[in-house]
Amino acid sequence: MKVVTVLYPGGEAAKTTPELWNCTEHALGLRPMLESTGHTLVSMSDTGAALDRELVDADVMVATPFWPAYITKERIAQSPKLKLLLTAGVGSDHFDLAAAAARKITVAEITGSNVVSVAEHAVMQVLALVRNFIPSYQQVVAGGWDIATLAARSHDLEDKTVGIVGMGRIGQRFAARLKPFDVQVHYYDNRRLTTAEEQVLGARYLSLDALTESSDVISIHAPLTPGTDRLFDRARLARMKRGSYLVNTARGRIVDTMALVDALKSGHLAGYAGDVWYPQPAAADHPWRTMPNHAMTPHLSGTTLEAQKRIAEGVQDCVQRFLAGTPIERDYLIVDGGRVVSPSYSYAYGSG
């Protein structure tokens, strides 16, 4: 059996940090397990022609969502042996789920592996925006000391209204971490929480339009599907409160690229933060790198060393089960037996 992993290059950091499980050098800890039993592992960072060559006779392909290999229906058609697509993390939108289902290729992701990491990152970015942290830090590095300029854009988070779009595992943890800040939390999701869950989190359900118009801060925690692709387009961004903030640790394509740039340049939005881009890795001239009032990071919210350990263990478990012919953990399954089985993606099936 041949397993291909597409992961970020570890470089010098990989030599001194063995906990970087998700890099090409350490390959999620799969190499000893596979090679000791006569199987082949190819670990690479190339997502282009080199990957195409390796996929031709691959049985399993593993890719992280933050260094994604976009597996289209054309690539699936050119990979006749492919039986398992694994996301080393959470979010399998870089795989064509409809094409995988049609070929009865199993798709799985390591559900829950990075939810704490992403929720913490989102809270950090909310505070970075509201407190005007990035310009303050940059001023210090540049040798300046202009308090008035910085304070003119700095606010308390307390008493603000925070809207959460997508109240799944990450959204709920994000809401829980906001409670000590004494904010009013609204949320929107396709599936409403129970009354008890809403009371525990201190969250009130609103329609997406009402949430958009009433929130001082909106944080996106929804999967990318045809229904959420560019959900925050020019029209929805215009409906946000003037001077509000948008945080997106979900997927870059949920927000319209140039509409966001224009909203920040005009001053309608006070700031944008997140760690997700489209495409990824982001080009050096991606307009989000240079737009005003942003606090962007590379897609690393879910790649803390603790998260990487959970991801590697989950991937190893899936591959071991696949080799043994035993079922993969049900919670991990996205596509199984020719159909999309995850509720997060089920309504995207067959949409092209």
Query: Alpha-carbon torsion 193, 197, 201, 202, what sign?
Result: positive
Report, as an integer, the average pLDDT of 300-327: 97
Looking at CATH, the fold of the domain delimited by 2-113+304-348 is given as Rossmann fold (3.40.50)
**The pair of three-digit structure tokens given for residue 25, joined into one six-digit string:** 């050098």
Report, as an integer, the average pLDDT of 310-325: 97
> Does pLDDT of 267 surpass 50?
yes
Element (H, E) at 10: none
> Quick one: pLDDT at residue 1?
94
- Whose structure tokens read 């209204």? 161
Neighbour count for residue 165 (Cβ, 10 Å) = 25
Contact 87, 110 (CB under 8 A): yes
Q: What is the pLDDT of residues 22-76, one digit of tens each?
A: 999 999 999 999 999 999 999 999 999 999 999 999 999 999 999 999 999 999 9
Cβ-based neighbours of 325, under 8 Å, separated by 6 or more:
none
The answer to whether the 2-113+304-348 and 115-296 domains have the same CATH topology is yes
- Whose structure tokens read 């997927």? 251
**The pair of three-digit structure tokens given for residue 242, joined into one six-digit string:** 């003037």
- Whose structure tokens read 């042996």? 81
> Quick one: pLDDT at residue 351?
31
Distance of alpha carbon 282 from alpha carbon 293, whole angstroms: 18
Give me the helix-helix angle, 133-141 and 115-130, nearest 10°.
Answer: 70
pLDDT class of 173 with cuts at 50, 70, 90:
very high
54-to-60, 82, 88, 345 alpha-carbon distances in Å: 11, 11, 18, 28
> Quick one: pLDDT at residue 343?
78
Q: What is the mean pLDDT of the chain?
A: 95
> Quick one: pLDDT at residue 20?
97
Nearest alpha carbon to residue 93 among 105, 106, 109: 109
Distance of alpha carbon 84 from alpha carbon 62, whole angstroms: 8
Provide the annotated active-site residues: 114, 251, 280, 299
If you ran DSSP here, which 8-state letter would residue 345 be given?
T
> Quick one: pLDDT at residue 347?
39
Angle (nearest 5°) at CA 295 between 291 and 297? 105
> Quick one: pLDDT at residue 350?
33
Q: Report the CATH superfamily, name and number, of domain 115-296.
A: NAD(P)-binding Rossmann-like Domain (3.40.50.720)
Percent of the chain with pLDDT over 70: 98
Percent of the chain with pLDDT over 90: 96
Q: What is the pLDDT of residues 93-116, one digit of tens each?
A: 999 999 999 999 999 999 999 999
Report, as an integer, the average pLDDT of 149-163: 98
Model pTM score: 0.92
Contact 224, 91 (CB under 8 A): yes
Q: Please spell the DSSP secondary structure of 270-335, one letter per residue.
A: EEEEES--SSSSPPTT-GGGTSSSEEE--S-TT-SHHHHHHHHHHHHHHHHHHHHT----GGGEEE
pLDDT class of 250 with cuts at 50, 70, 90:
very high
Q: Please spell the DSSP secondary structure of 178-240, one letter per residue.
A: HGGG--EEEEE-SSPPPHHHHHHHTEEE--HHHHHHH-SEEEE-----TTTTT-B-HHHHHHS
DSSP 3-state of 263: helix
Contact 24, 51 (CB under 8 A): no
> Does pLDDT of 349 surpass 70?
no
Q: Which residue ranges make up each domain of the chain?
A: 2-113+304-348, 115-296
Neighbour count for residue 8 (Cβ, 10 Å) = 19
Distance of alpha carbon 204 from alpha carbon 215, whole angstroms: 12
Cβ-based neighbours of 27, under 8 Å, separated by 6 or more:
5, 7, 41, 43
Q: What is the pLDDT of residues 189-245, one digit of tens each?
A: 999 999 999 999 999 999 999 999 999 999 999 999 999 999 999 999 999 999 999
